[in-house]
Amino acid sequence: MDTTFPDLRQYGGADAFLEACKPRAILDMLTGKWSTLVMGALLDGPRRFNELRRMLDGITQKMLSQTLRALERDGIVTRTVYPTIPPRVDYELTPLGRSAGGLLMAIADWSNQHADDVFAARRAYDERAAEPVQPVLPKIPI
Amino acid sequence: MDTTFPDLRQYGGADAFLEACKPRAILDMLTGKWSTLVMGALLDGPRRFNELRRMLDGITQKMLSQTLRALERDGIVTRTVYPTIPPRVDYELTPLGRSAGGLLMAIADWSNQHADDVFAARRAYDERAAEPVQPVLPKIPI
DNA sequence: CAGGATCCCCCTTGATACTG
DNA sequence: CAGTATCAAGGGGGATCCTG
């Protein structure tokens, strides 16, 4: 095995990402279609509900409030209600949320470095799949 | 805004994770229920199909072959067919795949450091939700 | 303004059976 | 051994309507 890359086995290999384990839960937390976008929208500071809705063009109220509730539950954002009329609610990243932003940064970093490779591999694979079927090799008896 | 954490805005904030953008595609690639497990199972070297199936207890043939095909398409694993009888197929991580393993490592790292905070926040939130409803504050006219 | 409640659809996952 | 094909189920996500 080449040693160009760090030995990941210290993290437990496949076991490190079993459904019941923590990295899986974290991955699921970041995985929602909108979670990353909401966190990204909060990087500059607190935002109000409809402010977020405008920033995340295309999100529905349901998904926005659902995503915000999940992030609040996970300690990623705080929800501050001002008992004014009309009501005002601010959402803001917690320190933990900003730390999670660092994780997103790592993903974006990796993506900047390797996404093109992935897409190139994808194109190559799809082209190969479009080619005519290769003739069957003569069977070699054991 | 505190500067304890790196400024993520250089990555484009929410825009950096829009559906059409690359980090989103990479996240989706890692996100599949079995992708991380398969990659983890391949860290030690090449594996055969049924070998992986045994390692990933609970995975169905369908999901395993589906996951492997997706990873092959993305250039994460290679598929090597030996035209013997019975047939033998080896799957192995590519350099790109091992690099992606580094990304998983970053996630596992963050998880080791912060997952407990997330779970604690989650418990606290759920307990608050179980409490009796707070009395409604008297409305303060504008 | 900030959501809650509903209905619905599609896509992923799973179970089962069959094949080269 | 290494898959593919088919069918059934469940949940995430979206559209819409309603409320304090």
CA distance A34 to B39: 25
Gap from A47 CA to chain B (nearest CA, Å): 13
What is the pLDDT, as a whole number, of residue B33?
87
- The tokens for B103 are 């990304």
pLDDT at B50 exceeding the cut of 80: yes
Nucleotide closest in space to B89 (CA vs C1'): D2
Q: Give the whole-angstrom CA distance, residue B11 versus residue B49.
A: 39
Alpha-carbon distance values, A87 to A50, A84, B3, B27 (Å): 12, 5, 31, 36
pLDDT band at residue B19 using 50, 70 and 90 as cut-offs: low
Give mean pLDDT, residues B44-58. 94
> Strand C closer than 7 Å to the CB of B60?
yes
Residues of chain A in contact with residue B14, where contact means CB-CB under 8 angstroms, are 36-38, 40-41, 43, 55-56
User: Do the Cβ atoms of B68 and A25 come closer than 8 Å?
Assistant: no
Mutation test of the interface with chain A: which of B19, B73, B78, choosing the one with the most A Cβ atoms within 10 A? B73
Taking the C-alpha atoms of B43, A105, B22 and A14 in order, what is their torsion angle to the nearest 10 degrees? Answer: 20
Q: Which residue is nearest to nucleotide D14 (CA to C1')?
A: A60
- Give Cα B140 distance to the centre of its chain: 47
Please indicate whether, in this complex, the C-beta atoms of A103 and B110 are within 8 angstroms of each other.
Answer: yes
Which residues in chain A have Cβ-Cβ distances shorter than 8 Å to B121? 73-75, 96
Tell me the C-alpha distance between A5 and A63, whole Å.
Answer: 39
Residue A95 bridge partners (DSSP): none
Q: What's the confidence (pLDDT) of residue B131?
A: 64
Interval A34-61 mean pLDDT: 94
Q: pTM for this one?
A: 0.83
Q: Which residue has the tokens 């994808």?
A: A122
Tokens 């590519």 correspond to what residue? B94
- Mean pLDDT score across all residues of chain A: 85
What's the CA dihedral at A56, A62, A63, A64 to 10 degrees? 50
- Chain A residues touching B141 at Cβ < 8 A: 85
How many other CB atoms are found less than 10 A from the CB of residue A32?
16
Residue A97 to residue A74: CA distance in whole angstroms: 9
Note whether B26 contacts A107, CB cutoff 8 Å: yes
A80 phi and psi angles, rounded to 5 deg: -115, 120
* A 94-133, residues with C-beta < 7 Å of strand C: none
pLDDT in tens, B82-133: 999 999 999 999 999 999 999 998 999 999 999 999 999 999 999 887 765 5
At A14 the pLDDT is 73
Tens digits of residue pLDDT in A68-107:
999 999 999 999 999 999 999 999 999 999 999 999 989 9
- Are the Cβ atoms of A107 and B103 closer than 8 angstroms? yes
* Structure-token match 């409604």, residue found: B136
Do A5 and B101 make contact, defined as CB atoms within 8 angstroms? yes
Q: Kindly state the tokens that stand for B57.
A: 């207890």
Contact: B6, A102; criterion CB under 8 Å = yes
Handedness of CA B124, B126, B128, B131 (dihedral sign): negative
**Cβ of B74 under 8 Å from any chain A Cβ?**
yes
Q: Which two tokens stand for residue A35?
A: 């979670």
What is the distance in angstroms measured between the alpha-carbon CA of A61 and the sugar C1' of D17? 13
Measure B45 CA to C10 C1' (Å): 37
Query: Does B111 contact A26 at a Cβ distance shorter than 8 Å?
Result: yes
